[in-house]
A and B are shown apart, each in its own frame.
Chain A
Amino acid sequence: MSIGIAPPAYIGAPAIESPPAKSLWSDAWRRLRRNRAAVASAAFLAWISFTAVAAPVLPGLQDPTSQDLKLGAVAPSIAHWFGTDELGRDTFARVIYGGRISLLVGLVGTFVSLLIGVSWGAVAGYRGGRLDDFMMRIVDILYSLPYIFLVILLLVFFSRSLIMLFVALGLVQWLTMARIVRGQVLSLKQQTFVEAARALGAGDRSIIFRHIVPNTLGPVIVYTTLTVPAVILQEAFLSFLGLGVQPPAASWGTLVSDGARLLALFPWLVVFPGVALSLTLLCFNFLGDGLRDALDPQDRADVA
């Protein structure tokens, strides 16, 4: 074990004992469908993703940047379902468009962390020895730097574009993923099917990415589902510090942190984006928990 940090146990599902049989995935699917909270969450997420993607063509949706300074902030009405902000912009439209950014940040940020974390962890775990020590020491070092320090510096170095926001969030999220994958790989590489592949003459690269990585998918999927809300929440935290997306674009995080400051005057500016944000986070968490239950092989043994 690398020094310093115990792996966060709550996301570390035990290593899968055998190569994935079809039954594992179909069992998992069957069990996931039985979990009503997870299904409802998935449905909600699908719906919210649809509105976010379709926002530009949604009929009747107002322009989220169109201002009316004379109007200012008004409470919800027929004309403005969610009210307007101080610049007279339609909050409903801004919540829908904010979802686009928040979901995008969450998904892309997670994807970046997935990409780095899985490759890093797989290589370190598979190669082992001094390379493993070295790679995991780097993870330890980055892990011991305060998160906010890293993010601020990343955002300061590379201009504050949306892409950089994805990268910055991904770059600080991949560490845990790398640890989980490494742990999985360490136990997987001893298994017979890997030996078999090696005996058949498969190269390291092919063994890692064809045979080992697919077998870590269970815990990776679970952790990914839980990373998305974490990234969305972190983006909201960055918005609170004023480090979020560049205006006039606004994520849910921007809307909520702005709205929270005006809570006493214009509560609708925090209530609507806040509900959207919290429900989405809640659903991702429910889905993640549901997936964990569904993919947990020990639990499966109990059922069997």
Chain B
Amino acid sequence: MEGGEALSATALLYCESMIRARSLALAAALALPLGACAPASPPIARTASSAARYFGDVTPPTDNVLRFNLGAEPETYDPGLAVGQPDGRVARILFEGLTREDPKTLAPLPGQAYRWDISADRLTYTFHLRPGIAWSDGTPVTARDFRWSWLRVLRPENAARYASMLYPVENAEGYSKGTIADENRVAIAAPDDSTLIVKLAQPTPYFLYLTQFYTCLPVPRPAIERYGNRWTRPENIVCNGAFLLKYWRQNDRFEFVKNPRYWDAANVRLDGLTAYTVEDLNTSVNLYKSGVFDWCPSGYMPSAFIPYLREYADFRHGNYQGVYFYTINVTRKPYDNVWVRRALNAAVDRDAIANDLLKHSREPWGNAAPTGYPGYEHPAGLRYDPDLARADLARAGFPGGRGFPKLAILINTSEDHRRIAEAIQEMWKRVLSIEVEISNQEWGSYLQATTALQYDVARRSWIGDYLDPNTFLGMYMTGDGNNRTGWSHPRYDGMLRAAAREVNPAKRMAILRDAEALLLSEGPEIPIYHYSTNELVKPYVRGIYQTALDIHPLTYVWIDRDWRRHAPESPFADAAPARPASAIARAASAPGAR
């Protein structure tokens, strides 16, 4: 226990500047009022009061099991191959990486590695594995397991979609793309059972974050070699996390039980978890209200409910690293004309959408990258300006919208997308006097149309993978698979490449800022709103916090049967002042940090 405290301090020492900056910036971001306009409903109650109202049943479960909604059925929870958020959630319950997330700040804490050293040039990471860690079948977890797992992700024939997460490692990209055949050239070495040495191609400030990402979790080699892609089935799976998979029925639920072999099992207070895969949003909220779910994570309630849930003490609302936007297909006429794109951009009233239509459940947003990146200052965002929009359109050769072809907004089928598209359709009709139709496509057709550039304007959204603006700005590079606008700008590509090479964090951020400004002025993207997390957590559930990436480590969550007599827990990341460096150094030298 004490050792654990000291150990986390050790970790802090090695990435001290980064983490401090990050938690500060996060805290600042979360403390920001939501947009310029204050929410119409009363702010979330943070203090205990007998008058606190809760949404539905607040009787704690009789057993020590947390029940929650996982939402969509994971495509796979094989960590190396997992893609979506539900995939990752299950993988993180079952497996633990070198580092694990702080449940509040998401900063990397010691996990399977109890400490690590970073070379002065920030290129070599040496991880020291915790003594005595074991797989659920009793065999020890070794550094070789990690090396094998990471190489497995990179091996081309495994077709891991998130292989690029490991590209910062030297030669990883080449091996993954088939230009390097010898896996030994990938700079991941396991000189002994408890030491893993990783050499990076370039200093990657977020590399420690990647070691806790699900793609980099260790997987059991013997089970995989024996069962192939059926190794994740409950009867075959071997794992190293805090919980084991006991039961799985597709489209129904996962049942997890506590893993007695987990290194910190003594501090795991839950006996198990049950994750349901309920996709219908109304059903999800109904199950929370009736007390079946103890936690209804963000994204699994109808957005129309959000404004009405604000008055309840068990509702939590916070920033989320995601942007909802429209993209413009610049390969089609007249959208190849920058003035047309600017006109469309200036005619979108983001405030009306976020504040009136969505009732302050989202924040109007005129930038390409979301808020909350340490050291990153946004360029000025795009604004609603009907006069400017008309002037721009006239400048493009369509005064008063005359001669402008019918524009089609492509959305995938969803009530939320449709409402927003209907609002924007009306804005463009009204401000620009152009004809606008909505093309509502089912998922497969929508994806095909956006990737093949068969659209005029399309709905998109993007959630950050890691805490860096690069995760947003990088996709507009020429030829990036996520670009999907046909937009290509040599100067933009050059700026992003320069930023990747830049070692000085401040200079790097400045370059990225200029790149975002260029992107906004070119207008292949119409930002609309900033995502937020909106979740419901029963008051007796302790240890689930609102986080900027909507990641929730569940290891130390517990059920507080006596919750009414205890002070309510703040769901937000603690805005505690950063510890002075000397204090951290002292903590690091404390006994137990071994």
Instruction: Report which of A241, A242, A262 forms a contact with B302, defined as CB distance below 8 A.
Output: A262
- Tell me, rounded to whole Å, the shortest Cβ–Cβ distance linking B88 to chain A: 26
Interface size in chain A (residues, C-beta < 8 A): 23
Q: Give the complex CA separation of A118 and B119 in angstroms.
A: 81
- Tell me, rounded to whole Å, the shortest Cβ–Cβ distance linking B473 to chain A: 31
Q: Is the CB of A246 within 8 A of B438?
A: yes
- Tell me, rounded to whole Å, the shortest Cβ–Cβ distance linking B92 to chain A: 31
Q: Give the complex CA separation of A220 and B381 in angstroms.
A: 63
Does A27 count as interface, using CB distance less than 8 angstroms?
no
Does A258 count as interface, using CB distance less than 8 angstroms?
yes
Name B307-351 residues within 8 Å CB distance of A: 308
Does A160 count as interface, using CB distance less than 8 angstroms?
yes
Instruction: Report which of B304, B421, B439, B445 forms a contact with A262, defined as CB distance below 8 A.
Output: B304
Residues A242 and B304 in contact in the complex (CB < 8 Å), given A156-B444, A160-B439: no
- CB-CB under 8 A from A243, the residues of chain B are 413, 442
Q: Is the CB of A261 within 8 A of B282?
A: yes
- CB-CB under 8 A from B439, the residues of chain A are 159-160, 246
Q: Is the CB of B305 within 8 A of A248?
A: no
- CB-CB under 8 A from A86, the residues of chain B are 304, 357, 419
Name B264-323 residues within 8 Å CB distance of A: 281-282, 302, 304-305, 308
Q: Give the complex CA separation of A70 and B358 in angstroms.
A: 10
Does B215 count as interface, using CB distance less than 8 angstroms?
no
Q: Is the CB of B305 within 8 A of A152?
A: no
Does A87 count as interface, using CB distance less than 8 angstroms?
yes
Q: Is the CB of A67 within 8 A of B423?
A: yes
- CB-CB under 8 A from A156, the residues of chain B are 442, 444-445
- CB-CB under 8 A from B281, the residues of chain A are 261
- CB-CB under 8 A from A70, the residues of chain B are 352, 356
Does A60 count as interface, using CB distance less than 8 angstroms?
no
- CB-CB under 8 A from A69, the residues of chain B are 352-353, 356-357, 423
- Tell me, rounded to whole Å, the shortest Cβ–Cβ distance linking A25 to chain B: 45
Q: Give the complex CA separation of A155 and B443 in angstroms.
A: 12
Does A265 count as interface, using CB distance less than 8 angstroms?
yes
Does B418 count as interface, using CB distance less than 8 angstroms?
yes
Residues A248 and B425 in contact in the complex (CB < 8 Å), given A86-B357, A265-B305: yes
Q: Is the CB of A242 within 8 A of B442?
A: yes
Q: Is the CB of B415 within 8 A of A261?
A: yes
Q: Is the CB of A247 within 8 A of B418?
A: yes
Q: Is the CB of B302 within 8 A of A72?
A: no
- Tell me, rounded to whole Å, the shortest Cβ–Cβ distance linking B339 to chain A: 27
Q: Give the complex CA separation of A162 and B143 in angstroms.
A: 61
Does B435 count as interface, using CB distance less than 8 angstroms?
no
* Chain A positions 236 through 267: 1 when the CB is less than 8 Å from some CB of chain B, otherwise 0: 00000111001110000000001001101100
Q: Which chain A residue has the least Cβ–Cβ distance from B349?
A: A69
- Tell me, rounded to whole Å, the shortest Cβ–Cβ distance linking B184 to chain A: 47
* Chain A positions 154 through 189: 1 when the CB is less than 8 Å from some CB of chain B, otherwise 0: 011001100000000000000000000000000000
Name B422-443 residues within 8 Å CB distance of A: 422-423, 425-426, 437-442
Does A65 count as interface, using CB distance less than 8 angstroms?
yes
- Tell me, rounded to whole Å, the shortest Cβ–Cβ distance linking A250 to chain B: 10
Q: Give the complex CA separation of A159 and B454 in angstroms.
A: 13
Query: Which interface residue of A86, A87, A155 has the most chain B CB atoms within 10 A?
Result: A86
Does B359 count as interface, using CB distance less than 8 angstroms?
yes
- CB-CB under 8 A from A261, the residues of chain B are 281-282, 302, 304, 415
Instruction: Report which of B413, B422, B445 forms a contact with A87, defined as CB distance below 8 A.
Output: B422
Q: Is the CB of B440 within 8 A of A247?
A: yes
Does B414 count as interface, using CB distance less than 8 angstroms?
yes
Residues A87 and B442 in contact in the complex (CB < 8 Å), given A65-B426, A72-B359, A265-B308: no
Name A64-84 residues within 8 Å CB distance of B: 65, 67, 69-70, 72
- CB-CB under 8 A from A247, the residues of chain B are 418, 421-422, 425, 438, 440
Q: Is the CB of B440 within 8 A of A160?
A: yes
Query: Which interface residue of B305, B441, B444 has the most chain A CB atoms within 10 A?
Result: B441
Q: Which chain A residue has the least Cβ–Cβ distance from B414?
A: A242
* Chain B positions 40 through 52: 1 when the CB is less than 8 Å from some CB of chain A, otherwise 0: 0000000000000
Q: Is the CB of B440 within 8 A of A246?
A: yes
- CB-CB under 8 A from B442, the residues of chain A are 152, 155-156, 242-243
- CB-CB under 8 A from B421, the residues of chain A are 247
- CB-CB under 8 A from B356, the residues of chain A are 69-70, 72
- CB-CB under 8 A from B413, the residues of chain A are 241-243
- Tell me, rounded to whole Å, the shortest Cβ–Cβ distance linking B71 to chain A: 16
- Tell me, rounded to whole Å, the shortest Cβ–Cβ distance linking B313 to chain A: 19
Q: Give the complex CA separation of A76 and B310 in angstroms.
A: 24
Q: Give the complex CA separation of A156 and B308 in angstroms.
A: 37
Q: Which chain A residue has the least Cβ–Cβ distance from B357?
A: A69
Q: Give the complex CA separation of A264 and B281 in angstroms.
A: 13
Q: Give the complex CA separation of A264 and B301 in angstroms.
A: 13
Q: Give the complex CA separation of A262 and B426 in angstroms.
A: 23
| A-B contact sample (14 more), CB < 8 A, given A242-B414, A246-B437, A261-B302 | A69-B352, A69-B353, A70-B352, A70-B356, A87-B422, A87-B426, A242-B413, A243-B413, A246-B440, A247-B422, A248-B422, A248-B438, A261-B281, A261-B304
Contact surface of B with A, Cβ cutoff 8 Å: 281-282, 302, 304-305, 308, 352-353, 356-357, 359, 413-415, 418-419, 421-423, 425-426, 437-442, 444-445
**Interface pairs (8), CB distance under 8 Å:** A69-B352, A70-B352, A156-B445, A159-B439, A160-B439, A160-B440, A247-B418, A247-B422
Contact surface of A with B, Cβ cutoff 8 Å: 65, 67, 69-70, 72, 86-87, 152, 155-156, 159-160, 241-243, 246-248, 258, 261-262, 264-265
**8 nearest CB pairs, A to B:** A242-B413, A69-B356, A247-B438, A69-B352, A69-B357, A67-B426, A248-B422, A70-B356
